């Protein structure tokens, strides 16, 4: 395949017994999760439950104190070469003097290296990512002038420019307008239909129930997983959120 990963029969992403200790505190403990090609999986849990920590562990941005992350059976540095990451919007420097196309091009750093000028393949990847996210006509607009929804689309385009097999999305719907939500929902469904694996953290249970193929409930570890109907199960939501939050979540 063009992306360098062979077609396998196992899951694209497998997290086994992942444990992360940060500042002497166990942020994630023996978490197991599988995401197959063609799946959009929602990662659901309260604040501080370890959702973002799990994404960062998959990326190798925080060390594992135990367990393993594997992409089509490959663990370690090689696994991260095929993962695209869409962080929360506040993690990007929107005051940096760069336009949309330039921001999306930074998603090609792994392929380009730090010193090489972009080639034809890099420019084509940026053009395709801009087209997918509806940003082609805005490509020369400075990122500092963008709305919240436009900024979210820039982050998604930036991740897609690297042609990832796996896309990790950290709260992609937070603070965006309805048209952007609809565009992103359609795009994520399309990417899954193309055989990519998507793992998305979200607090929007309605959107998760409508768009995700599966959901995983997390509270320092994965406490339950299954179809979207799991979000309407009070007993399972209690495990993840506690009594008061669970009642509100399934009401």
111-128: string of b/e by CB count within 10 Å (b at 16+)? bbeeeeeeeeebeebbeb
208 and 234 belong to one structural domain: yes
Whether the CB-CB separation of 70 and 64 falls below 8 Å is answered with no
Least confident residue range of 75-79, 115-119, 145-149, 232-236: 75-79
> Is 4 inside any structural domain?
no
State the pLDDT confidence band at 250, using cuts at 50, 70 and 90: very low
Locate 61 and state its tokens: 């941005």
Instruction: Quote the domain boundaries for residue 109.
Output: 98-164
How many independent structural domains does the chain possess? 2
> Is 92 inside any structural domain?
no
> Is 123 inside any structural domain?
yes
Per the prediction, the chain carries an average pLDDT of 87
77 and 109 belong to one structural domain: no
Closest by Cα among 109, 28, 36, 32 to 71: 36
Compute the average pLDDT of residues 192-198: 94
State the pLDDT confidence band at 78, using cuts at 50, 70 and 90: low
pLDDT digits (tens, 9 = 90+) for 14-39: 999 999 999 999 999 999 999 999 99
159 and 198 belong to one structural domain: no
CA of 22: how far to CAs of 18, 31, 50, 64, 233, in Å?
13, 15, 11, 10, 31
Gap between the Cα atoms of 218 and 101, Å rounded? 36
pLDDT digits (tens, 9 = 90+) for 197-246: 999 999 888 888 888 999 999 999 999 999 999 998 888 888 888 744 44
Measured in whole angstroms, the distance separating CA 115 from the mean position of its chain's CA atoms is 27
146 and 40 belong to one structural domain: no
235 and 125 belong to one structural domain: no
> Is 142 inside any structural domain?
yes
198 and 127 belong to one structural domain: no
Rounded to 5°, the CA angle 233-212-246 comes to 30
């Amino acid at each position: 395949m063009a992306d360098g990963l062979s077609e396998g029969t196992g899951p694209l992403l497998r997290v086994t017994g992942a444990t992360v200790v940060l500042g002497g505190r166990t942020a994630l403990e023996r978490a197991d999760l599988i995401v197959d090609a063609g799946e959009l999986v929602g990662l659901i849990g309260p604040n501080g439950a370890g959702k973002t920590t799990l994404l960062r562990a998959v990326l190798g941005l925080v060390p594992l104190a135990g367990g393993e992350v594997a992409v089509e059976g490959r663990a370690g540095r090689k696994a991260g070469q095929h993962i695209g990451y869409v962080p929360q919007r506040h993690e990007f420097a929107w005051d940096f003097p760069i336009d949309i196309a330039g921001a999306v091009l930074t998603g090609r750093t792994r392929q380009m290296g730090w010193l090489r000028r972009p080639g034809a393949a890099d420019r084509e990847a940026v053009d395709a990512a801009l087209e997918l996210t509806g940003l082609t006509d805005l490509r020369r607009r400075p990122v500092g002038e963008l709305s919240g929804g436009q900024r979210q689309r820039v982050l998604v385009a930036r991740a897609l420019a690297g042609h990832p097999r796996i896309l990790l999305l950290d709260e992609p719907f937070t603070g965006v307008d309805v048209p952007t939500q609809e565009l992103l929902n359609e795009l994520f469904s399309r990417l899954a239909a193309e055989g990519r694996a998507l793992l998305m953290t979200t607090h929007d249970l309605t959107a998760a129930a409508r768009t995700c193929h599966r959901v995983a409930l997390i509270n320092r570890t994965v406490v339950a997983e299954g179809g979207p109907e799991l979000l309407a199960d009070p007993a399972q939501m209690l495990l993840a959120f506690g009594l008061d939050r669970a009642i509100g979540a399934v009401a």
